[in-house]
């Protein structure tokens, strides 16, 4: 019977296929393996792994039959799980924030799966482009309704856009620049920005009847 690999081993195997060439280990492999271990850490340190469950016998399978054991392989935990506490009470902004969360999770999953540099770059470019569009939407609303903290908020947008642009440039020059630390930066950036800044202008817009 073919042995079923554990979820962690499956992800590590995918990384190995991408980064191992004969006896040569390509640069960046250890970063990807570390990312896999971190992603599965909650499962390895407390949460029970799924148990194998036998399939039912099929009546017409023959006189001699054997159960085949299947194991459900859970997807790696999302880097960011959308929560109601991130809502700013403005539907179009919440929708855009959720899309940014999806893009960051997509980039994280692609990195864990050991996808090629071009695939990662495409997702990162999409994330950067969407972030700029989202910032423009927020800034338009803040100006329209006279938010007093507009200039400070826009300066923060400009700073974040520059950081993401620099990240893209680094990832193109050095594909291994997409490390777990980078993903942590994106996670903290989005969550922190929403909670610490966006909720401030949202309260002003909510008071003006924007929902």
Complete domains list, the chain, with CATH: 7-70 (no CATH), 84-207 (1.20.120.50)
Q: Give the tokens for residue 52.
A: 């194998």
62 against 19, higher pLDDT:
19
Q: What's the mean pLDDT in 199-207?
A: 97
Tracing tokens 């390895």 back to the chain, one arrives at 44
Instruction: Determine contact, residues 176/27, Cβ cutoff 8 Å.
Output: yes
Residue 53, beta-bridge partner list: 70
Pairing of strands 53-54, 69-70: antiparallel
Give pLDDT tens digits for 26-75: 666 666 666 666 665 544 444 444 444 444 444 444 444 433 434 455 66
- pTM for this prediction: 0.68
Question: How far apart are alpha carbons 169 and 178 in whole angstroms?
Answer: 11
Residue 24, beta-bridge partner list: 21
Give the alpha-carbon dihedral of 115, 127, 188, 150, to 10 degrees.
170
Give pLDDT tens digits for 87-128: 999 999 999 999 999 999 999 998 888 888 888 889 999 999
Other residues' Cβ atoms within 10 Å of the Cβ of residue 105: 20
Enclosing H/E stretch for 173 = helix 150-173
Of 12-26, 43-57, 161-175, the one with minimum mean pLDDT is: 43-57
């Amino acid at each position: 019977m073919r042995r079923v690999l554990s979820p962690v081993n499956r992800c590590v195997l995918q990384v190995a296929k991408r980064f191992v060439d004969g006896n040569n280990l390509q640069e960046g492999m250890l970063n990807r393996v570390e990312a896999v271990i971190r992603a599965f850490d909650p499962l390895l340190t407390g949460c029970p792994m799924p148990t194998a469950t036998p399939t039912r016998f099929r009546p017409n399978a023959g006189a001699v039959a054997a159960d085949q054991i299947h194991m459900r392989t859970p997807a790696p935990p999302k880097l960011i799980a959308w929560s109601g506490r991130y809502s700013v009470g403005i539907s179009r902004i919440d929708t855009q924030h959720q899309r940014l969360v999806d893009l960051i999770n997509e980039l994280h999953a692609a990195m864990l799966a050991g996808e090629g540099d071009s695939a990662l770059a495409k997702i990162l470019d999409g994330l950067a482009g969407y972030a700029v569009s989202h910032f423009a939407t927020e800034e338009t609303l803040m100006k329209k309704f006279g938010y007093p903290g507009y200039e400070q908020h826009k300066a923060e947008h400009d700073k974040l856009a520059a950081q993401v642009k620099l990240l893209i440039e680094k990832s193109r020059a050095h594909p291994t620049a997409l490390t777990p630390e980078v993903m942590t930066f994106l996670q903290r950036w989005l969550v922190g920005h929403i909670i610490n800044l966006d909720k401030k202008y949202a309260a002003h817009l909510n008071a003006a009847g924007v929902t």
